[in-house]
A and B are shown apart, each in its own frame.
Chain A
Amino acid sequence: MKFTWWKIITILLLVYTIVAGFLNDVPRLAILNESIRNTYFHVPMWFGMIILLGISVFYAVKYLKTPTLRNDIISTEAARMGLVFGVLGIITGMGWARVTWGEFWSNDPKQNASAIGLLMYFAYFVLRGSFAEEQQRARISAVYNIFAYAALIPLLFILPRLTDSLHPGNGGNPGFGTYDMDNKMRVVFYPSVIAWTLLGIWITNVKSRFEIIKQKIYENA
């Protein structure tokens, strides 16, 4: 394994996120209290998911232009890692919601929309599993991938803002950007987003290479 620069950055930023995330000063806000530190661990899951699913769509489009096995594998593995981030995001979000909003699941528009979004991506893997023929599987799931991402963006970022949502920045609630989050938090928050996303990219990278090797062995056998 080559210790490329971005792998080192991943490790350093993850350590920084945890140390600074627990020990730095945060704004004193009622109800949120110390749980505001979840911003460094819950929110990056969703950022990471969106970025990884974006990579997945990029490679899906690339596959449709040049149908190589590599493009299909990277697209699938990025979607898989994005889904892992999404599931972690929903679990951490439910824990946070319990202590701040009172319920694990309060049918908040953004909670519901993200659950629907995750189901769409579960359906992507069900769809993949239902084809025996490789080319067909890769092509049809690449097309589905593009539609799923196009539906996910309004689900997560537009529809919750049109109604009342408990999430910051939705339905008239001020977002973290307006006054809850100060620059002392941003100094930890942005690196944390990068750190978790890079970790996801790293895992995607290893898993994709593994799948490519597996395919090569199958071809030779």
Chain B
Amino acid sequence: MKMLNKWAFTLCLFVSVLFTNVAFAQTADAAETTLIEANAPASNIEMADRLRADGKIYIVVGCVLVVLAGMIFYLISLDKKVSNLERQIKS
């Protein structure tokens, strides 16, 4: 079924336009970064640096990926079931 295909296409087109913007905005960004650094010393700000260094964050990422995979597989199975029904109704 071709429904919504053109929406997906428009969306992808939109993104590629945004990406081009990012590429052209590179030079302006360098100035912005120094501005942020001038406002607060970067090393003083609390970040989860050690967490990633210890590798524990990978467990979280893996966990979220498993959840996402489960949902995607469920969605795919639903999609297949609906496709089967569509085929049965046609014949």
Given the contacts A19-B65, A213-B85, A29 and B45 also touching, CB distance less than 8 Å: yes
Chain B nearest CB, measured from A154 CB (Å): 23
| Contact assessment for A1 and B68 in the assembled complex, using a CB-CB cutoff below 8 Å | no
Q: Inside 8 A of B18's CB, which chain A residues have their CB?
A: 186, 190
In the complex, A100 Cα to B69 Cα: how many Å?
30
In the complex, A220 Cα to B89 Cα: how many Å?
10
| Among listed A88-96, A108-116, A137-145, A194-202, interface-contacting one | A194-202
| Contact assessment for A190 and B85 in the assembled complex, using a CB-CB cutoff below 8 Å | no
| Residue A182 CB within 8 A of the other chain | yes
Query: From DSSP, what is the main secondary structure of chain B's interface residues?
Result: helix
Q: How many residues of B contact A (CB 8 A)?
A: 45
| Contact assessment for A182 and B29 in the assembled complex, using a CB-CB cutoff below 8 Å | yes
Tell me the A30-48 residues at the B interface (CB within 8 Å).
30, 33-34
In the complex, A218 Cα to B36 Cα: how many Å?
62
Q: Inside 8 A of B11's CB, which chain A residues have their CB?
A: 51, 194, 197-198, 201
Tell me the B1-27 residues at the A interface (CB within 8 Å).
1, 3-5, 7-9, 11-12, 14-15, 18-19, 22, 25-26
Interface bits B57-86 vs A (CB < 8 Å: 1, else 0):
100110011001000100110111011011
Q: Inside 8 A of B35's CB, which chain A residues have their CB?
A: 179
Chain B nearest CB, measured from A95 CB (Å): 15
| Among listed A4-12, A61-69, A123-131, A165-173, interface-contacting one | A4-12
| Residue A150 CB within 8 A of the other chain | no
Q: Inside 8 A of A204's CB, which chain B residues have their CB?
A: 4
In the complex, A201 Cα to B40 Cα: how many Å?
41
In the complex, A194 Cα to B17 Cα: how many Å?
12
| Contact assessment for B45 and A202 in the assembled complex, using a CB-CB cutoff below 8 Å | no
| Contact assessment for B8 and A190 in the assembled complex, using a CB-CB cutoff below 8 Å | no
Given the contacts A11-B72, A51-B11, A197-B11, A182 and B86 also touching, CB distance less than 8 Å: no
| Contact assessment for A194 and B12 in the assembled complex, using a CB-CB cutoff below 8 Å | yes
Please pick, from A15, A19, A30, A51, the residue contacting B45 in the complex, using a CB distance under 8 A. Answer: A30
Q: Inside 8 A of B29's CB, which chain A residues have their CB?
A: 182-183
Given the contacts A203-B75, A206-B82, A213-B85, A179 and B36 also touching, CB distance less than 8 Å: yes
Given the contacts A14-B68, A190-B19, A203-B75, A209 and B5 also touching, CB distance less than 8 Å: no
The 10 closest A-B pairs by CB, nearest first: A6-B8, A28-B45, A1-B79, A1-B80, A28-B42, A1-B83, A183-B29, A22-B61, A190-B18, A209-B82
Known: A27-B36, A182-B36, A191-B15. 15 other contacts (CB 8 A): A14-B68, A18-B64, A29-B36, A30-B45, A34-B47, A55-B4, A182-B29, A183-B22, A186-B18, A186-B22, A190-B18, A194-B14, A201-B11, A206-B78, A209-B83
- Offer 26 A-B interface pairs, CB within 8 angstroms, sorted by A: A1-B80, A6-B5, A6-B12, A14-B72, A22-B57, A22-B64, A28-B40, A28-B47, A29-B45, A30-B40, A30-B45, A33-B45, A51-B11, A70-B3, A74-B3, A179-B32, A179-B35, A182-B29, A186-B18, A194-B12, A198-B8, A201-B7, A202-B79, A205-B3, A208-B4, A213-B82
